[in-house]
Structure 1
Amino acid sequence: MSDAAPRKFTFDTVFDGAGNIASQPAPYKRVYTADEVEKIRNQARAEGLAAGQATAQAQTAQALMQVAEAARMALPTLAAAAHEHRVGSAGLALAAARKIADAACDRFPDAPIQEALAALAREIEAAPKLVVFAPADRLDEVQAALNETAGNIGYGGQIIARADPAMPRAAFVLDWGDGRAAFDPNAAAARVAEALEAALAAEGLHGEALTSGPSDHHG
């Protein structure tokens, strides 16, 4: 007796009670013409191409998502680098401006006080006396410069120059009783630096436009 497992018998063709064929498997074609072979080949090629395109599109979409994620993660680093560059550029510009201003004050030390007196002509025209405080080593130069400027603007009051040893070069204080005007190049530079630092701090890493600093004029 055989030990092989019995195989289930399946009917390929099923007949109904009248003897007609109720169902039968699709005929299995074993021989194909050249045209049929070419058609099958073309269909298989098209299906393979479509599958390859779908795979490529999925891979492209995934790669784009990875690029976008990498860019998103890199933004804080780029923003920090840009902010650091802005801070460095601002510091360099400020240092260059300070050098230029110092050189201008050394070459034309009387220019700031002459410009101030000319700008204040309308305010001081009725004042009988104008007192100016200036560095002790420049007292005579300041007195001469103010007398010249006073003549040009038509100021006929008395100008009195007094020494202030603590003042840096090109600094001054004008006092005409009803008001005062002062200029200190060191204090002005410090205010500009503070305003720039405050603007950069407020800007943070957002890259917004810097706000303008306060005016250096004092009435």
Structure 2
Amino acid sequence: MTSSSHQKFGFDTVFDNAGGVAYSAPRPKRLFTAEEVEAVRAAAFAEGEQQALGSMAALQAQALSQIASAVGQALPRLAGVAHEHREGAAGLALACARAIADAALERFPYAPMQAALETLAREIEASPRLIVSAPAEIAEGVQAALAETAQAIGYAGAIQVRAAPLGPAAFTIDFGDGAAAFDPAAAAERVAAALDAALAAEGLHAEPLIPGSES
């Protein structure tokens, strides 16, 4: 058998020797005034509001934590996408530059040689002869083009042009004490290699695509 504690019998009302009420336990109030009802209602509303605000704050904190986690997971991917965009943009710009350069060299095939001769004016002024090697398809016109440039820079030496198995617009200039050479295809390859190296070194730590933002 299990034993259970028994509550002692108590009286709600205690009488004194004269028969008067010495003590009476307070009874629950059955009637309330409008003011009391309003006060109770206001207190209950305030308590409920505080609980609701507390719940909302907890939900907001949870939502912010989830957003921060999602953003933290997305940032590396965004950095990768930005880097891929830079690589694509750089490749497109390089391809456009090559197309423009090829068109310009096709229209003005002697321009690089003339520019080189102007740049070398001081180096070649004492040289009695220049030996210029150029692609066979343009070799015939090189003589006249360089003669005009030589007159413009005051070079009085001889210019000898030779046809050579070179790429379009490529050439070499030998002036005895030195030489100069230009190959558009090789130059384009060097530019592409330098661009690839710069993108690789930059990696995912480049400046933001949008000024003022952080990558």
* Structure 1 residues 6 and 92, CA gap change in structure 2 (3 angstroms): closer
Matched residues, number: 195
Which residue in the other structure is 2:85 paired with? 85
Cα distance in 1 for partners of 2:11, 2:110 equals 118
Q: Is residue 2:55 matched to residue 1:55?
A: yes
1:14-53 correspondence to structure 2 within 5 Å: 28-53=28-53
Displacement, 1:208?
A: 4.0
Moved over 4 A (4+): 10-13, 24-28
- 1:120, 1:26 → 2: CA distance? 117
Query: Structure 1 residue 192: deviation in Å?
Result: 0.8
TM-score norm. by structure 1 comes to 0.82
Gaps of 5+ in 2: 13-23, 209-215
Contact 2:169 2:184 in 1 (8 A): yes
Using the TM superposition, give the Cα deviation of residue 205 of structure 1 relative to its aligned residue in structure 2, in angstroms. 1.6
The 1-side partners of 2:9 and 2:181 are apart by 113
> What are the residue-to-residue correspondences of 1:67-82 with 2, within 5 Å?
67-82=67-82
The residue identity in structure 2 corresponding to 1:32 is: F
The one-letter code of the counterpart of 1:46 is A
SS in structure 1 at match of 2:82: helix
User: Which position in structure 2 is the counterpart of 1:159?
Assistant: 159
For 1:31, give the aligned amino acid: L
Give 1:96 shift.
1.0
Separation (CA, whole Å) in 1 of partners of 2:189 and 2:25: 98
Distance 2:180 2:4 in 1: 117
Per the alignment, residue 181 of structure 1 pairs with: 180
Q: 1:47 Cα deviation (Å)?
A: 1.0
Distance apart, 1:12 and its partner CA: 8.1
Deviation of 1:137 (Å): 2.4
In structure 2, do the counterparts of structure 1 residues 142 and 10 end up closer, same or farther at CA, with 3 Å as the change threshold? farther
Identity score, percent: 57
State the match for 2:196 in structure 1: 197
Match of 2:162, SS state, is strand
Letter in 1 for 2:44: A
In the alignment, the residues of structure 2 paired with residue 71 and residue 104 of structure 1 have an alpha-carbon distance, to the nearest angstrom, of 48
2:114–2:146 Cα contact (<8 Å) kept: yes
Q: For residues 127-153 of structure 1, what are the alpha-carbon distances to aligned partners after superposition, in whole Å with 9 as ceiling and x for unaligned?
A: 222111111222221111111100011
Q: What corresponds to 2:144 in structure 1?
A: 144
| C-alpha contact (below 8 Å) 2:129/2:175 kept by paired residues | yes
State the match for 1:118 in structure 2: 118
The residue number in structure 2 matching 1:109 is 109
Structure 2: which amino acid aligns with 1:48?
G
CA distance in 1, matches of 2:193, 2:25: 92
Measure, in 1, the Cα distance between the counterparts of 2:11 and 2:69.
58
1:81-103 Cα distance to aligned partner (Å, 9 max, x none): 11111111111111111111111
For 2:177 and 2:27, locate their aligned partners in 1 and report how far apart those are by CA, in whole Å: 118
| Deviation (angstroms), 1:177 | 1.7
Assess, with a 3 A threshold, how the Cα gap between structure 1 residues 8 and 177 changes in structure 2: closer, same or farther.
same
